[in-house]
Amino acid sequence: MELDAISPELEQVERLGGADLVVGILASKNEEALATASLMREALAGLSNLSRAVVVCRNGAHSPVPSVQEVPGDGQAQPIIFCSLPEPGPVETPYQSVINGYRSVFAIGGKLGARGCGVIASQPETITPLWINRLVQPVLELGFDLVAPRYARHKMEGLLNRSVLSPLHRSLYGWQLQNPVGPDFGLSGKLLQRVLSRDSGSRRGSQTDLLASISSAAADSGFQVCESHLGLRNQPPTDWMNLSSLLTAILGAVFQELEHQAAFWQSVRGSRPVPAFGVPDTLPEETSTVDTRRMIESFQLGIQSLQDVWALVLPPTSLLELRKLARMPPDQFRMPDELWARIVYDFALGYRLRVISRDHLLRSITPLYLGWIASYALEMETAGPAEVESRIERLSSSYESSKSYMVSRWRWPDRFNP
């Protein structure tokens, strides 16, 4: 996204001589600017060598305010400059809006030569001064290039991360990150320039891959990575039976990045943890439940109606295992970790080979994903936090042990054609 499309008043910010830090708060409105300024001032208090911060937020649709305004310091605190993002377009999906917000914040940070950049896409009621500080302090003062988030989660929260994104990133890129696709990040100026360079190169114009490329860009460049415990993240309840569009957007971005990074991840062996800052928050008692019966019924319906599609990407042995699983009594429904890891790998390969429409392919994974969710929910019904973490660790290990399968199919797809 070009800078001229972000804010015509950006030149006012440039004339200030740049900024040490740019923070994008994508879900906020400019009418909340003063509250955000207070949060920012408290978050940045005590950080050394920070002379100016720029906050990028949404413009209020019904309460116009100047697109760029400076909130002066008190003589000791840093001045905070506000710069507006354009409102989402009428045809933008929520995910596209987030991606375009990232692109705008990164463009501003790059133009201003920022030493650090933080982006927060979580809901405003989630954000605290400590949250902001933990994203940017390791970058500005400790020399880290990427700060990925760790959230306090109940066992039925963050399951796309737990079942696909985190174990896949761990297996392919070698870092054990809880949330490799954020959505909240801290970046150094070096990593910011790297991401901007890649985004404006061969993939210029892509509107779906930027968020998925941040962690992989840090991995293939050998940058310093850490995590920060941010605490609870408020999210609306998951609509389990209407996940196809979300899965298509996120998995499409991740699989596209995987394709671009194939030369790198095929050489990665094993995985390693990264430093983590802060202390995990104590979770309130979990009260949400899931309807595993409907999930299993969706999986069984997929067995009946989608086998022709799945046969284009899954080998006969996997299809046979899935058919056996569909005949299990609901209380015994369990999807083996090795099977699920191979399914994800096979769909990534099918996406690369374009065996059918990519959108159609990714939508067809929804019943399989619901099958994994049902299996996990039944197994973890009475489990505590330690048991849940142990369970996810076993799944992640299965991804790693199955990586040779992925590499072989990627290098010689004809030889391993189902």
- At 55, list the tokens: 């906050």
The mean per-residue pLDDT over the stretch 31-44 comes to 72
The mean per-residue pLDDT over the stretch 74-99 comes to 73
Indicate whether 3 pLDDT > 60.
Answer: no
Tell me what pLDDT residue 20 has.
Answer: 92
Tell me what pLDDT residue 29 has.
Answer: 59
The mean per-residue pLDDT over the stretch 334-348 comes to 98
Question: What is the distance between the alpha carbons of residues 118 and 185, in angstroms, rounded to a whole number?
Answer: 6
Question: What is the distance between the alpha carbons of residues 89 and 371, in angstroms, rounded to a whole number?
Answer: 35
Indicate whether 60 pLDDT > 50.
Answer: no
Write the CB contacts of 93 (distance below 8 Å, at least 6 apart in sequence): 245, 249
Domains of the chain plus CATH, in order, are 3-277 (3.90.550.10), 292-411 (no CATH)
CA distances from 408 to 165, 331, 411, 414, 416 (A): 21, 36, 5, 10, 8
Which residue's structure tokens are 């660790």?
A: 393
Tell me what pLDDT residue 276 has.
Answer: 97
Q: With beta carbons less than 8 A apart as the criterion, state whether 207 and 100 touch.
A: yes
Indicate whether 27 pLDDT > 80.
Answer: no
Indicate whether 66 pLDDT > 50.
Answer: no
Tell me what pLDDT residue 415 has.
Answer: 63
Read off the pLDDT of residues 138-159 as tens digits, 9 standing for 90 and up.
999 999 999 999 999 999 999 9
DSSP string, 39-53: HHHHHHTT-TT---E
Question: What is the distance between the alpha carbons of residues 62 and 329, in angstroms, rounded to a whole number?
Answer: 54
Q: Which helix (H) or strand (E) element contains residue 55? A: strand 53-58
Give which of 90, 53, 91, 67 is closest to 3, Cα–Cα.
67
Q: With beta carbons less than 8 A apart as the criterion, state whether 238 and 138 touch.
A: no
For residue 183, cis peptide bond before it (omega within 30 degrees of 0): yes
The residue type found at 231 is G
Query: Over the chain, what is the mean pLDDT?
Result: 86
**Exposure string (b/e) for 344-365, b if CB count within 10 Å is 16 or more?**
bbbbbbbbbbebeebeebbbbb
User: 3-class secondary structure for 79-148?
Assistant: CEEEEEECCCCCCCCHHHHHHHHHHHHHHHHHHCCCCEEEEECCCHHHCCHHHHHHHHHHHHHHCCCEEE
Read off the pLDDT of residues 177-229 as tens digits, 9 standing for 90 and up.
999 999 999 999 999 999 998 887 655 444 447 889 999 999 999 999 999 99
CA 306 centroid distance within chain: 28
What are the residues facing 119 on neighbouring strands? 24, 185
Give which of 40, 43, 276, 246 is closest to 179, Cα–Cα.
276
More confident residue, 81 or 232: 232
CA distance from start to end of the chain: 41
What are the residues facing 276 on neighbouring strands? 227
- At 329, list the tokens: 């009594």
More confident residue, 60 or 293: 293
Which residue's structure tokens are 């290098």?
A: 411
Question: What is the distance between the alpha carbons of residues 115 and 298, in angstroms, rounded to a whole number?
Answer: 48
| Local confidence band at 357 (pLDDT 50, 70, 90 cut-offs) | very high
Tell me what pLDDT residue 290 has.
Answer: 87
| Local confidence band at 230 (pLDDT 50, 70, 90 cut-offs) | very high
The residue type found at 218 is A
The residue type found at 368 is L
Tell me what pLDDT residue 4 has.
Answer: 43
Question: What is the distance between the alpha carbons of residues 67 and 56, in angstroms, rounded to a whole number?
Answer: 10
In this structure, the dihedral spanned by the alpha carbons of residues 48, 222, 172 and 399, taken in order and rounded to 10 degrees, is: -60
Phi, psi of 25 (to 5 degrees): -115, 95
Ramachandran bin of 347, using left for φ above 0, alpha for ψ from -120 to 50, beta for the remaining angles: alpha
Which residue's structure tokens are 């949330």?
A: 179
